[in-house]
Protein backbone atom coordinates (compact mmCIF):
# COMPACT_ATOMS: atom_id res chain seq x y z
CA UNK A 1 0.00 0.00 0.00
CA UNK A 2 1.19 3.51 -0.81
CA UNK A 3 2.41 5.18 2.43
CA UNK A 4 0.20 8.21 1.78
CA UNK A 5 -2.81 5.95 1.35
CA UNK A 6 -2.01 4.26 4.66
CA UNK A 7 -1.64 7.60 6.43
CA UNK A 8 -4.99 8.79 5.09
CA UNK A 9 -6.67 5.52 6.00
CA UNK A 10 -5.34 5.63 9.56
CA UNK A 11 -6.67 9.16 9.94
CA UNK A 12 -10.09 8.21 8.61
CA UNK A 13 -10.40 5.26 10.96
CA UNK A 14 -9.48 7.55 13.85
CA UNK A 15 -12.51 9.68 12.90
CA UNK A 16 -14.89 6.70 12.64
CA UNK A 17 -18.34 6.71 14.23
CA UNK A 18 -19.62 3.12 14.07
CA UNK A 19 -23.22 4.10 14.81
CA UNK A 20 -23.15 6.55 11.92
CA UNK A 21 -21.60 3.86 9.70
CA UNK A 22 -24.47 1.48 10.41
CA UNK A 23 -27.06 4.18 9.71
CA UNK A 24 -25.39 5.46 6.55
CA UNK A 25 -24.86 1.96 5.12
CA UNK A 26 -28.65 1.54 4.90
CA UNK A 27 -28.87 4.56 2.59
CA UNK A 28 -26.40 3.20 0.04
CA UNK A 29 -27.38 -0.27 -1.17
CA UNK A 30 -24.73 -0.20 -3.89
CA UNK A 31 -21.87 -0.01 -1.36
CA UNK A 32 -20.82 -2.99 0.74
CA UNK A 33 -20.94 -2.20 4.45
CA UNK A 34 -17.34 -3.24 5.03
CA UNK A 35 -16.27 -0.45 2.66
CA UNK A 36 -17.82 2.21 4.91
CA UNK A 37 -15.69 3.54 7.75
CA UNK A 38 -18.32 5.84 9.26
CA UNK A 39 -16.83 9.35 9.11
CA UNK A 40 -19.37 12.14 9.37
CA UNK A 41 -19.30 14.65 6.53
CA UNK A 42 -18.29 17.74 8.58
CA UNK A 43 -15.29 15.85 9.98
CA UNK A 44 -14.34 14.61 6.52
CA UNK A 45 -14.60 18.12 5.04
CA UNK A 46 -12.43 19.52 7.81
CA UNK A 47 -9.82 16.85 7.11
CA UNK A 48 -10.01 17.59 3.36
CA UNK A 49 -9.32 21.29 3.98
CA UNK A 50 -6.32 20.43 6.14
CA UNK A 51 -5.01 17.70 3.84
CA UNK A 52 -5.42 19.79 0.67
CA UNK A 53 -2.66 22.11 1.89
CA UNK A 54 -0.09 19.31 1.85
CA UNK A 55 2.06 17.97 -0.97
CA UNK A 56 0.64 14.51 -0.28
CA UNK A 57 -2.83 15.55 -1.44
CA UNK A 58 -1.78 15.63 -5.11
CA UNK A 59 -0.32 12.15 -4.75
CA UNK A 60 -3.51 10.87 -3.13
CA UNK A 61 -5.49 12.10 -6.16
CA UNK A 62 -3.35 9.87 -8.36
CA UNK A 63 -4.27 6.76 -6.34
CA UNK A 64 -7.28 5.05 -7.92
CA UNK A 65 -9.33 3.08 -7.22
CA UNK A 66 -9.80 3.55 -3.49
CA UNK A 67 -10.91 0.84 -1.10
CA UNK A 68 -13.19 2.82 1.19
CA UNK A 69 -16.24 5.01 0.62
CA UNK A 70 -14.73 7.82 2.71
CA UNK A 71 -11.56 7.73 0.63
CA UNK A 72 -13.71 8.35 -2.42
CA UNK A 73 -15.48 11.22 -0.67
CA UNK A 74 -12.16 12.71 0.40
CA UNK A 75 -11.05 12.45 -3.22
CA UNK A 76 -14.18 14.36 -4.26
CA UNK A 77 -13.64 17.09 -1.66
CA UNK A 78 -10.03 17.50 -2.80
CA UNK A 79 -11.19 17.92 -6.41
CA UNK A 80 -13.50 20.71 -5.25
CA UNK A 81 -10.49 22.54 -3.84
CA UNK A 82 -8.34 22.44 -7.01
CA UNK A 83 -9.70 25.87 -7.94
CA UNK A 84 -8.84 25.95 -11.66
CA UNK A 85 -11.25 24.83 -14.36
CA UNK A 86 -9.18 22.58 -16.64
CA UNK A 87 -7.37 20.67 -13.86
CA UNK A 88 -10.73 20.19 -12.09
CA UNK A 89 -12.33 18.66 -15.18
CA UNK A 90 -9.27 16.48 -15.79
CA UNK A 91 -9.43 15.21 -12.20
CA UNK A 92 -13.14 14.46 -12.57
CA UNK A 93 -12.55 12.62 -15.84
CA UNK A 94 -10.16 10.34 -13.97
CA UNK A 95 -12.34 9.90 -10.90
CA UNK A 96 -15.95 9.66 -12.11
CA UNK A 97 -15.58 6.16 -13.66
CA UNK A 98 -14.76 4.85 -10.17
CA UNK A 99 -17.77 6.46 -8.44
CA UNK A 100 -20.22 3.72 -7.46
CA UNK A 101 -22.89 5.42 -5.35
CA UNK A 102 -25.23 8.40 -5.34
CA UNK A 103 -23.75 10.03 -2.22
CA UNK A 104 -20.20 10.39 -3.54
CA UNK A 105 -21.59 11.48 -6.89
CA UNK A 106 -23.76 14.23 -5.44
CA UNK A 107 -21.31 15.72 -2.95
CA UNK A 108 -18.88 17.12 -5.54
CA UNK A 109 -19.74 20.69 -6.48
CA UNK A 110 -16.65 22.64 -7.58
CA UNK A 111 -17.27 26.38 -7.26
CA UNK A 112 -15.04 26.98 -10.27
CA UNK A 113 -17.86 25.74 -12.53
CA UNK A 114 -19.85 28.87 -11.70
CA UNK A 115 -17.16 30.94 -13.41
CA UNK A 116 -16.93 28.68 -16.47
CA UNK A 117 -20.51 27.83 -17.34
CA UNK A 118 -20.12 27.90 -21.16
CA UNK A 119 -17.15 25.53 -20.94
CA UNK A 120 -18.77 23.09 -18.52
CA UNK A 121 -21.98 23.08 -20.56
CA UNK A 122 -20.00 22.05 -23.62
CA UNK A 123 -18.29 19.33 -21.60
CA UNK A 124 -21.67 18.00 -20.48
CA UNK A 125 -23.06 17.97 -24.02
CA UNK A 126 -20.04 16.30 -25.53
CA UNK A 127 -19.17 13.78 -22.86
CA UNK A 128 -20.69 13.34 -19.41
CA UNK A 129 -24.44 13.46 -20.23
CA UNK A 130 -24.12 10.70 -22.81
CA UNK A 131 -21.84 8.52 -20.68
CA UNK A 132 -23.01 4.91 -20.21
CA UNK A 133 -21.59 5.05 -16.68
CA UNK A 134 -24.48 5.63 -14.26
CA UNK A 135 -22.82 8.11 -11.95
CA UNK A 136 -21.06 10.12 -14.64
CA UNK A 137 -24.43 10.74 -16.28
CA UNK A 138 -26.07 11.45 -12.92
CA UNK A 139 -23.29 13.89 -12.05
CA UNK A 140 -23.83 15.79 -15.31
CA UNK A 141 -27.54 16.20 -14.61
CA UNK A 142 -26.70 17.40 -11.11
CA UNK A 143 -24.44 20.10 -12.52
CA UNK A 144 -27.22 21.29 -14.80
CA UNK A 145 -29.56 21.44 -11.80
CA UNK A 146 -27.11 23.39 -9.62
CA UNK A 147 -25.74 25.81 -12.18
CA UNK A 148 -28.30 26.26 -14.97
CA UNK A 149 -31.78 26.64 -13.51
CA UNK A 150 -31.46 30.29 -12.51
CA UNK A 151 -29.17 32.97 -13.98
CA UNK A 152 -27.66 30.74 -16.66
CA UNK A 153 -30.95 29.14 -17.76
CA UNK A 154 -31.80 28.68 -21.44
CA UNK A 155 -34.54 26.54 -23.02
CA UNK A 156 -31.82 24.07 -24.00
CA UNK A 157 -31.23 23.03 -20.36
CA UNK A 158 -34.42 21.00 -19.71
CA UNK A 159 -34.22 19.69 -23.27
CA UNK A 160 -30.78 18.23 -22.57
CA UNK A 161 -32.05 16.41 -19.49
CA UNK A 162 -35.26 15.20 -21.13
CA UNK A 163 -33.15 13.73 -23.93
CA UNK A 164 -31.22 11.45 -21.56
CA UNK A 165 -32.26 7.83 -22.04
CA UNK A 166 -31.40 5.42 -19.26
CA UNK A 167 -32.89 2.46 -17.43
CA UNK A 168 -30.65 3.10 -14.44
CA UNK A 169 -32.57 3.94 -11.26
CA UNK A 170 -30.06 6.52 -10.03
CA UNK A 171 -30.04 8.35 -13.36
CA UNK A 172 -33.84 8.43 -13.55
CA UNK A 173 -34.07 9.66 -9.95
CA UNK A 174 -31.73 12.55 -10.78
CA UNK A 175 -33.80 13.41 -13.85
CA UNK A 176 -36.88 13.52 -11.61
CA UNK A 177 -35.05 15.68 -9.09
CA UNK A 178 -33.98 18.03 -11.89
CA UNK A 179 -37.53 18.47 -13.19
CA UNK A 180 -38.97 18.91 -9.70
CA UNK A 181 -36.40 21.64 -9.07
CA UNK A 182 -37.07 23.16 -12.48
CA UNK A 183 -40.77 23.37 -11.63
CA UNK A 184 -39.79 25.47 -8.62
CA UNK A 185 -37.38 27.76 -10.47
CA UNK A 186 -38.66 27.74 -14.06
CA UNK A 187 -42.28 26.61 -13.93
CA UNK A 188 -43.49 28.12 -17.22
CA UNK A 189 -40.60 26.62 -19.19
CA UNK A 190 -40.82 23.24 -17.43
CA UNK A 191 -44.51 22.38 -17.24
CA UNK A 192 -44.74 21.64 -21.01
CA UNK A 193 -42.45 18.64 -20.46
CA UNK A 194 -45.04 17.12 -18.13
CA UNK A 195 -48.09 18.16 -20.14
CA UNK A 196 -46.44 16.72 -23.26
CA UNK A 197 -45.29 13.58 -21.41
CA UNK A 198 -41.72 13.99 -22.56
CA UNK A 199 -40.41 11.70 -19.80
CA UNK A 200 -40.94 7.99 -19.32
CA UNK A 201 -43.96 7.26 -17.04
CA UNK A 202 -41.93 6.38 -13.94
CA UNK A 203 -39.72 9.48 -14.15
CA UNK A 204 -42.73 11.64 -15.03
CA UNK A 205 -44.62 10.55 -11.91
CA UNK A 206 -41.53 10.75 -9.70
CA UNK A 207 -40.92 14.33 -10.87
CA UNK A 208 -44.46 15.23 -9.86
CA UNK A 209 -44.10 13.46 -6.52
CA UNK A 210 -40.89 15.32 -5.66
CA UNK A 211 -42.38 18.65 -6.76
CA UNK A 212 -45.45 18.09 -4.60
CA UNK A 213 -43.14 17.48 -1.63
CA UNK A 214 -41.53 20.90 -2.13
CA UNK A 215 -42.49 23.86 0.03
CA UNK A 216 -41.65 26.19 -2.86
CA UNK A 217 -44.71 25.14 -4.86
CA UNK A 218 -48.18 26.45 -4.01
CA UNK A 219 -51.04 24.18 -2.97
CA UNK A 220 -52.95 25.23 -6.08
CA UNK A 221 -50.08 24.20 -8.34
CA UNK A 222 -49.65 20.93 -6.45
CA UNK A 223 -53.31 20.13 -7.06
CA UNK A 224 -52.82 20.72 -10.77
CA UNK A 225 -49.67 18.59 -10.88
CA UNK A 226 -51.60 15.68 -9.36
CA UNK A 227 -53.90 15.74 -12.38
CA UNK A 228 -50.90 15.20 -14.66
CA UNK A 229 -49.92 11.85 -13.14
CA UNK A 230 -49.96 9.00 -15.64
CA UNK A 231 -51.13 5.46 -15.06
CA UNK A 232 -48.65 2.69 -15.79
Domain locations in the chain as residue ranges: 1-101, 116-232
pLDDT at 1 over 80: no
How does pLDDT run across 84-120, given as a tens digit for each residue? 999 999 999 999 999 999 999 999 999 999 999 999 9
Question: How far apart (Å, rounded) are the C-alpha atoms in residues 88 and 93?
Answer: 9
pLDDT at 14 over 80: yes
Give the model's confidence band at 232: pLDDT under 50 very low, under 70 low, under 90 confident, else very high.
confident
| pLDDT of 101 | 97
Q: What pTM value is reported for the model?
A: 0.95
pLDDT at 150 over 80: yes
Amino acid sequence: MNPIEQTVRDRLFALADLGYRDFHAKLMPTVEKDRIIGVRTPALRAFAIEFSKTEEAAEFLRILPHRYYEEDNLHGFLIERIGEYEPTVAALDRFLPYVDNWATCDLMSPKVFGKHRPQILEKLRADWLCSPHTYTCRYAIGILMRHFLRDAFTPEIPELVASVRSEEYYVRMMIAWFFASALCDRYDETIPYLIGRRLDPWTHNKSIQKAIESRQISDETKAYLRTLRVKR
